[in-house]
Amino acid sequence: GEGGKDEKIKKMREKVEQTQALQQKRILRELEPKCWEKLAEQGYFQKAEDSLNSAAALECEENGESERYARLLHAVGALYDFRSNSDVTGQQQALSIVSAKYCCESAKALRVIVSARGDTCERELTSLLAAVLLLRGRSLCNSA
């Protein structure tokens, strides 16, 4: 009867929603941190920020504050730095402060990784930490 039909439709909808959620997670897992550059060039700042933040949240949930997590946060910081440098609305200081905040979080995660690995830490990771700290410093200067 009607009840069975409603239940069948409900189950189908749940299956579709579950499939969509799994697809979204797969997309976020494959998201390249540098994707913000192309999106920002096209003016899609919010889409870039939302995508990077969602990918970072998923990464942190699944793998903790990993190197990828730090790279994603650094990318959000770089996005805000880009926005602050091209800002004409008087929001440059505020954007720079947000950039510095993301860089601070990224650096915190990287420091933990670097100290845990000790001597086996790759040059690439220490250069990333240096780049994050440099961007944080620049953002703090821009916000003054």
Query: 11-50: per-residue pLDDT in tens?
Result: 999 999 999 999 999 999 999 999 999 999 999 999 999 9
What would the pLDDT profile of 125-139 be if each residue is shown by its tens digit?
778 888 888 888 888
Alpha-carbon distance values, 13 to 3, 51, 65, 66 (Å): 15, 25, 34, 35
pTM confidence score:
0.83
Query: In this predicted model, what pLDDT tens digit does every residue of 56-65 receive, in sequence order?
Result: 999 999 999 9
Task: Indicate the SS3 state at residue 80.
Answer: helix
Rounded CA-CA distance 39/25 in Å is: 20
Q: Tokens 């990333």 identify what position?
A: 128
Q: What is the dihedral sign for C-alpha 5, 8, 10, 12?
A: negative
Taking only the tens place, the pLDDT of each residue in 65-79 is 999 999 999 999 999
Could you give the C-alpha distances from 91 to 80, 85, 100, 142, in angstroms and in order?
11, 10, 14, 11
